[in-house]
Amino acid sequence: MSVFNQSRGRVIQIIIGAVFIVITAQLINLQIFSSQYKLAAENNAIYRKIIYPDRGIIFDRKKRALLENTISFDLVVTPAETKGTDTATLCAILGIDTSEYKKRMLDAIFKNTRVRPSIFEPLLSPDLYAKLTENMYKFPGFVLSERSVRTYPFNTAAQLLGYIAEVDTAYLRKNKHLGYEMGDYAGMSGLEKTYESVLMGQRGIKRFIRDNKSRIQGSYENGIFDTIPIAGRNLYTSIDVEVQQLAEQLLQNKIGSAVAINPRTGGIISMVSSPTYNPNVLTGNARRKNWGRMVMDTAKPMYNRAIKGQYPPGSTFKPLGALVALDQGLITSDYGIGCAGGYGACGGVYVRCEHSNAGHAANLRLALANSCNSYFSDVFRKALDNKKWGNSNQGYLKWKEYMNAFGLGRRLEVDLPSEDKANIPDTSVYNRFFGGARRWNSCSVLTLGIGQDKMTATPLQMANLMCIIANRGYYFPPHFVDSIENERTEDTTLLNKYRTKHKVTNISDRDYQAVNDGMHDVTIYGTAAHIKIPGVEYCAKTGTAQNPHGKNHSLFVAFAPKDNPRIAVAVVVENGGYGSVAAGPIAGLIMEKYLNDTLSTAGKATAERITNMDLVPQAIKNWYTRKDAERAARLAKLALEEAAEKEEAETNKEIPKNNTEAILEQGSKPVGNKKDSTEKYKIKAALLISESKKKKMEGRRQ
């Protein structure tokens, strides 16, 4: 044999040897070390029953449970084990037809394979559970699985607390690291979502041995491999449930929002977005129907306007405009202007005032108390045209720095998902709008000085601004959760950002005092003089934001007491008119309830009046009217169809069967020993029956 052939033979031997070694190693691995196929085999013999834990409870500031847990049951199916199921009885109990049964079964197989359990009917009602319990022996492959679900004893704070729902495949892909399985429930919004890892707890598993017909024979290995469920941990919040309920009551029949914060800690006392909904409608087996209905609702009850609604702050912005000018040395508290009812120094741009009486803008305190548009337009121009910055564009950028420092135009990172940052426009926006940096100046954006133009803010940002002014230059990031049960290192890391004081700027106490005095005068003789809190002096600012789509929005911001403030509030009522008409009384009652723990006799009368005030836009009312009419028409149509079907069934019972129908019932009996005669008779009989039914229907119409 040549040397070449010997070399080639060795290569082939080496390859064969290597393949043999690999195969041998893999066999050893699969049979001795790997548990992959062992687990697959065990899954055929062992039934895993998941024991769901109780989710953690969320408490208000006085340790009252805002939500609780109760027991419900899911109907769970393992498709591979459903042979022999009485589908007719099951469908009748569940109120579905066989096509829906097949669809659900295919969905279960697609989502979770044939051999793994999937939820067939979630969150059974008590009546449905009772009917199923006494018939479960007819449904092999189906089991009733216990689950803890939420209830809400106070029927409040739905948008804050959020809701839980079954995880889908997209959720599982996104949260692989959390170990969810099909059939698990997780927080989908609100605090339930933000603190899911704390509230969820840990599933327990019980294992049962099965025979070759999948019948459970008892506990597997005496339960030594079972694990017990571990309940989720509780959250302790700064919410005051009574203040929350009052705020929701006051905002009934209105579109808007209210936020109340403790400026000492940043803890949110109350946050309301109206319209809202009863959180109990998103629990139990009616959740899907109610969720779909609310998502389509034109008034958006699931939309949290407190963190997503973007409104021009209007005159509530003026205290901040004053602070900027004071800090830059552009004005003093004694600075004043003469105002005869408007600001016309910009030529073509004229800003009107609500006052024309002499001396109402003679100094800062008077200008704030009377909410003089001319005064704050002039102050804004001074800030942008400050020669220290070179030109109006640079002056605007410096002004924007102040806005961002005070929490406008950026997210405050509240512990709720989906917070919006609203808008403090950049110079690039105006460069595009006006066609270049040199083609606009302080007059071009004059209405920014009175909280209009392209500026927007969320109610949360407005309330936080009041915290900064109340604290004279610092704030704690707004948040709901003050502490977590059995706080761990990772919890401390999460909560530390809410426990850290944020100093805004180096604005002096003297400048803050000047603004606070003016805001106090608002409540003494100014635009909110009629809004009183028994025994409490407070600082406030009214606002009326222009709305191009209808009546102006009503805004009100405040903090109380005047000295050592304990609550800061912002209220927005869409289409509410002047700030002191709709938003102001709501804010006053919220502060009164929190500080005095009750409402006075006059306060109760005001609360009843405000509650009955209907400010829902006519367009939304028309939408509801149209939807109600459509719903009524659908119900009437269904009632007519059911009545017609019932009448037809009764008629069919009364009319005796003719020979043709009898032939059909006999099936395929051959006539005259001719095999094809049966088919001919069946076709002829079908035609005769069709004609007979047609005559019956025509007779009923006549």
- SS (HEC) of 275-298: CCCCHHHHCHHHHHHHHHHHHHCC
Contact 369, 523 (CB under 8 A): no
Of all residues in the chain, what percent carry a pLDDT higher than 70? 88
Phi, psi of 640, rounded to the nearest 5 degrees: -65, -45
pLDDT of 430-449, one tens digit each?
A: 999 999 888 999 999 999 99
DSSP 33: I
Mean pLDDT value of segment 595-605: 96
Contact 183, 117 (CB under 8 A): yes
In sequence order, the 6+-apart residues with CB closer than 8 A to the CB of 545 are 311, 312, 313, 314, 451, 452, 552, 553, 555
Q: Please give the single-letter amino acid code of residue 127.
A: D
Of all residues in the chain, what percent carry a pLDDT higher than 90? 56
Residue 119 confidence (pLDDT) above 80: yes
User: Taking Cα atoms as reference points, which of 269, 229, 174 lies closest to residue 591?
Assistant: 269
Mean pLDDT check: name the lowest of 70-79, 205-214, 471-480, 509-518.
205-214
Task: Give 182-240 as a 3 state SS string.
Answer: CCCEEECCHHHHHCHHHHCCECEEEEEEECCCCCEEEEHHHHCCCECCECCCCEEECCC
In sequence order, what E strands does 434-531 have?
A: 474-475, 481-484, 502-503
Mean pLDDT check: name the lowest of 383-387, 607-611, 662-666.
662-666
Query: What pLDDT is recorded for position 326?
Result: 96
Mean pLDDT value of segment 401-428: 95
Q: How confident is the model at residue 652 (pLDDT cuts 50, 70, 90)?
A: low
Nearest-5° Cα angle at 495, 490 to 501: 140
Question: Rounded to an integer, what distance in angstroms lies between the CA atom of residue 154 and that of residue 284?
Answer: 17
Dihedral sign of CA atoms 296, 298, 300, 301 in order: negative
Q: Please give the single-letter amino acid code of residue 396.
A: Y
What rounded mean pLDDT belongs to the chain? 86
Token pair 């602070």 is at which residue? 323
Tokens of 541: 């600012």
Bridge partners (DSSP) listed for residue 573: 256, 554
Q: How confident is the model at residue 663 (pLDDT cuts 50, 70, 90)?
A: very low
Q: Where are the alpha helices (DSSP H) in 535-676?
A: 583-596, 601-611, 618-654, 659-665
Phi-psi region of 557 (alpha: psi -120 to 50; beta: other; left: phi over 0): beta
Contact 359, 366 (CB under 8 A): yes
Dihedral sign of CA atoms 379, 383, 388, 390 in order: negative
Contact 325, 331 (CB under 8 A): yes
Tokens of 594: 């929190």
CB atoms within 10 A of CB 558: 32
Tokens of 554: 């009503």
Query: What pLDDT is recorded for position 660?
Result: 46
Burial of 582 (0-12, 13-18, 19+ CB in 10 A): buried
Contact 352, 375 (CB under 8 A): no
Q: Please give the single-letter amino acid code of residue 269.
A: I
Report the interhelical angle of 509-524 vs 318-327 (nearest 10°). Answer: 150
The pairing of strands 58-59 and 235-237 is parallel
Burial of 130 (0-12, 13-18, 19+ CB in 10 A): exposed
Mean pLDDT value of segment 500-517: 94
Residue 693 confidence (pLDDT) above 80: no
Contact 184, 211 (CB under 8 A): no
Instruction: Select the highest-mean-pLDDT range: 37-46, 71-80, 375-384.
Output: 375-384
Higher pLDDT, 693 or 236: 236
Higher pLDDT, 426 or 694: 426
pLDDT of 565-581, one tens digit each?
A: 999 999 999 999 999 99
Question: Rounded to an integer, what distance in angstroms lies between the CA atom of residue 282 and that of residue 417?
Answer: 18
Q: Is 575 helix (H, G, I), strand (E, B) or coil?
A: coil
Q: How confident is the model at residue 213 (pLDDT cuts 50, 70, 90)?
A: low
The pairing of strands 567-573 and 256-261 is antiparallel
Query: What pLDDT is recorded for position 688?
Result: 46
Dihedral sign of CA atoms 684, 690, 696, 698 in order: negative
Mean pLDDT value of segment 335-362: 87
Question: Rounded to an integer, what distance in angstroms lies between the CA atom of residue 699 and that of residue 400?
Answer: 80
In sequence order, what E strands does 398-538 have?
A: 474-475, 481-484, 502-503
Tokens of 488: 């761990």
pLDDT of 260-303, one tens digit each?
A: 999 999 999 999 999 999 999 988 777 778 888 888 888 899 99
Q: Is 51 helix (H, G, I), strand (E, B) or coil?
A: strand
Tokens of 422: 């609203």
Contact 180, 172 (CB under 8 A): yes
CB atoms within 10 A of CB 16: 10
Residue 407 confidence (pLDDT) above 50: yes
Burial of 99 (0-12, 13-18, 19+ CB in 10 A): exposed
Higher pLDDT, 139 or 220: 139
Q: How confident is the model at residue 35 (pLDDT cuts 50, 70, 90)?
A: low
Residue 546 confidence (pLDDT) above 90: no
In sequence order, the 6+-apart residues with CB closer than 8 A to the CB of 516 are 469, 472, 539, 562
Burial of 5 (0-12, 13-18, 19+ CB in 10 A): exposed
